[in-house]
């Protein structure tokens, strides 16, 4: 465990937060029409946070957080507001709070692999983030396998958006975002072909929740994060498996800033989750996944 992290003082580990503002560019206070639609979909107050601001927010709550940007340049024609380098360099100033992931544009082929290796060589990368719907790619297309091979070599996890997305929701044509790419069954193929790769299925995977549960049950290195939905909307089958067969494979995630950890945890308290399972979901499963806790460490139970 990194010396900077005192896991006993950590309340929870949020495995899914977004950096939406650069600390190195002029602050943009006015959201564009797409950003306004996105926050409106979540009924959330618009908040654009830098890495420094995310760190301060989570430090105040005695939580760790995974944070990342998203590179969908090929699919959208728009480069990310915040670079991977900025995420890594600023997160390094808050090692007791922030676990930085990087995002790679899968359509760049060998250039994406080279960029992955350059970023990993910094020693700061804790994982990788993909959004198949926004990045417009089928995860099980073998075109992208050299990228997964390079990720598998690092031993770090890869987090993939699955299911419905708030990006483009309610906008004409869904703003060109195609939900089909986010079916978690495509990641079953990836889990078969890269058995050493740790995969996190981000979000309750509506409308494919059963598929996500099946993949996580069947493939030992596949996890589910619970971000992007208030727990009060979780389907009954997800709650059932989180309490039982998937109790060691389900992870707390909020999707901050569109859903805050305060809101998420308040609603989570009302779910019929077993007392012995709550600490697993909120902290211990992620702590083991990220190497912050030994596999045989039982902590509070």
Domain ranges of the chain: 7-289
> Of 270, 179, 174, 171, whose CA–CA distance to 230 is shortest?
270
8 A C-beta contact, residue 1 and residue 293: yes
Tens digits of residue pLDDT in 126-137: 999 999 999 999
Rounded percentage of the chain residues whose pLDDT exceeds 90 = 82
By CB neighbour count within 10 A (0-12 exposed, 13-18 middle, 19+ buried), where does 17 fall?
Answer: buried
With a cut of 80, say whether residue 1 has pLDDT above it: no
Q: What phi and psi values does residue 19 have, to the nearest 5 degrees?
A: -95, 120
What was the pLDDT predicted at 301?
42
Contacts 24+ apart (CB under 8 A), 120-126: 120/154, 120/156, 122/88, 124/88, 124/89, 124/91, 124/92, 124/100, 125/88, 125/100, 125/101, 125/154, 125/156, 126/66, 126/99, 126/100, 126/101, 126/156, 126/290
Tens digits of residue pLDDT in 230-251: 999 999 999 999 999 999 999 9
Domain range 7-289, its CATH number among 3.40.50.10860, 3.20.20.140, 3.40.50.300, 3.90.1300.10: 3.20.20.140
- Dist. CA 109–CA 113, nearest whole Å: 7
What is the DSSP secondary structure assignment for residue 181, as one 8-state letter? G
């Amino acid at each position: 465990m990194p010396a900077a992290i005192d896991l006993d003082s950590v309340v929870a580990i949020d495995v899914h937060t977004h950096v939406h503002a650069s600390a190195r560019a002029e602050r943009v206070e006015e959201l564009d029409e797409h950003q306004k639609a996105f926050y409106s979909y979540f009924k959330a107050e618009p908040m654009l946070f830098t890495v420094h601001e995310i760190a301060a927010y989570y430090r105040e709550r005695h939580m760790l957080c995974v944070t990342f940007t998203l590179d969908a340049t090929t699919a959208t024609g728009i480069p990310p507001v915040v670079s991977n380098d900025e995420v890594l360099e600023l997160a390094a100033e808050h090692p007791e709070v922030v676990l930085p992931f990087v995002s790679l544009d899968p359509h760049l082929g060998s250039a994406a692999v080279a960029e992955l290796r350059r970023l990993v060589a910094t020693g700061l990368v804790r994982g990788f983030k993909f959004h198949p719907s926004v990045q417009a790619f089928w995860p099980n297309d073998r075109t992208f396998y050299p990228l997964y091979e390079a990720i598998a070599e690092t031993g770090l996890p890869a987090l993939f958006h699955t299911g419905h997305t708030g990006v483009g929701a309610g906008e004409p044509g869904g703003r060109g975002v195609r939900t089909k790419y986010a079916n978690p069954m495509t990641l079953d193929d990836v889990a078969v072909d890269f058995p050493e790769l740790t995969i996190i299925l981000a979000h309750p995977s509506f409308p494919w929740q059963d598929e996500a549960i099946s993949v996580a049950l069947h493939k030992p290195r596949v996890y589910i994060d619970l971000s992007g939905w208030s727990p009060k909307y979780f389907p009954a089958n997800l709650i059932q498996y989180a309490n039982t067969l998937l109790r060691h494979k389900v992870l707390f995630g909020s999707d901050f800033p569109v859903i805050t950890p305060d809101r998420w945890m308040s609603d989570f308290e009302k779910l019929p989750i077993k007392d012995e399972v709550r600490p697993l979901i909120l902290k211990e499963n992620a702590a083991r996944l990220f190497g912050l806790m030994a596999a045989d460490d039982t902590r509070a139970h």
